[in-house]
Structure 1
Amino acid sequence: MDASGSLKCVIVAVDGSEASMEALRWALDNLKLSPSSPDSSFVVLHVQSPPSIAAGLNPGTIPFGGPSGLEVPAFAAAIEAHQKRITDAILKHALQICSDKSVNVKTIVIVGDPKEKICEAVENLHADLLVMGCRAIGPIKRMFLGSVSNYCTNHARCPVIIAKSKDDASSA
């Protein structure tokens, strides 16, 4: 952010959940980019899991009853193609929201662990603000799985806004 408080780069992380799409709507409705900077942008960021993680495989291991060593490349390719379709659908939904608001955005897809990759993108793009949704996972799941929004709040090198849905906010 510059001294006047104008935003030049806002990253909105989307994962396909309605909470992330509500965060995108909130950002588009409530945040204004610096009009004096021609390179100002909203960046819609989606982090896709690597095929081995999405398939539940540890690299180099075959689960009991899973595909044989010869089938693994085909299995990974099928998972990768499926993830690409999911990513395309998520970005199409996000871009539709942006076009409804008449806002141009950049889209970025990164493969890896969402917590780490979102924070890396914030740093690499010199983001002024990160906006993300918050899925209401219970305390037990959060203890075992961790919370992407909690991690990013503590590790991103810019301010973070967690946009909760009205339903989540009233029950919290």
Structure 2
Amino acid sequence: MAKARVVGVAMDFSPTSKLALRWAVDNLINKADHLIIINVQPPSADHTRKQLFEDTGSPLVPLEELREINFTKQYGIPRDPEVIDILDTASKTKGAKAMAKVYWGDPREKLCNAVEDLHLHSLVVGSRGLGPIKRVLLGSVSKYVVTNASCPVTVVKGKQSSNSCH
């Protein structure tokens, strides 16, 4: 019997991060795996739980608690029915255990920290597909994580718009 793996998905609730979550469920998750969505709040965020968990990140939050409005208020993340639905599907059809963890700070550093902290076997991130100038100015989270994370990282690209230059 295969050993359960721990798969993380970077989640900022953008369409690309939801695409990454769907990709992970469809392509990586097997029975009894742990699927952890990892949300990184900006350092300036001021939520009730930040003071308690700013250094370590929140405790792992089970899927049942993600549905509660209290959770979203305490941690400052949206209550997103689409994400809950994807996690429910992974739980029911694949037997995966779905959870979430919230960090505060620079997403590049915190996602790499999460790999160690959560003992991830794999991390899936979405790519916003910034152009070369924006990438230089803003930096690419996915590029940084691919370069620095200590586990395999899959970058799921967003859908290209039909009017983009090739």
- CA contact under 8 A between 1:43 and 1:106: conserved in structure 2? yes
User: How far 1:171 moved relative to its partner?
Assistant: 6.8
Matching residue of 2:133: 140
Query: How many Å separate the matches in 2 of 1:128 and 1:156?
Result: 11
Structure 1 unaligned blocks of 5 or more: 54-80
Matching residue of 1:17: 14
Query: How many Å separate the matches in 1 of 2:87 and 2:45?
Result: 32
Normalized per residue, which structure has more helix? 1
CA RMSD of aligned residues (A): 2.9
Given the superposition, is the C-alpha separation of residues 82 and 125 from structure 1 closer, same or farther in structure 2, using an over 3 Å criterion?
closer
Q: Deviations over 1:38-83 (max 9, x none)?
A: 6x30100000002279xxxxxxxxxxxxxxxxxxxxxxxxxxx989
Matching residue of 2:78: 88
Q: Provide TM-score, normalisation by structure 1.
A: 0.67
- CA contact under 8 A between 1:50 and 1:112: conserved in structure 2? yes
Structure with greater Cα Rg: 1
Amino acid at match of 1:97: I
Count of residue correspondences: 135
- CA contact under 8 A between 1:7 and 1:128: conserved in structure 2? no
SS of residue paired to 1:51: coil
User: How far 1:93 moved relative to its partner?
Assistant: 3.8
Q: Provide TM-score, normalisation by structure 2.
A: 0.70
- CA contact under 8 A between 2:40 and 2:103: conserved in structure 1? yes
Q: What percent of counterpart residues are identical?
A: 39
- CA contact under 8 A between 1:132 and 1:149: conserved in structure 2? yes
Q: Which moved more, 1:99-108 or 1:43-52?
A: 99-108
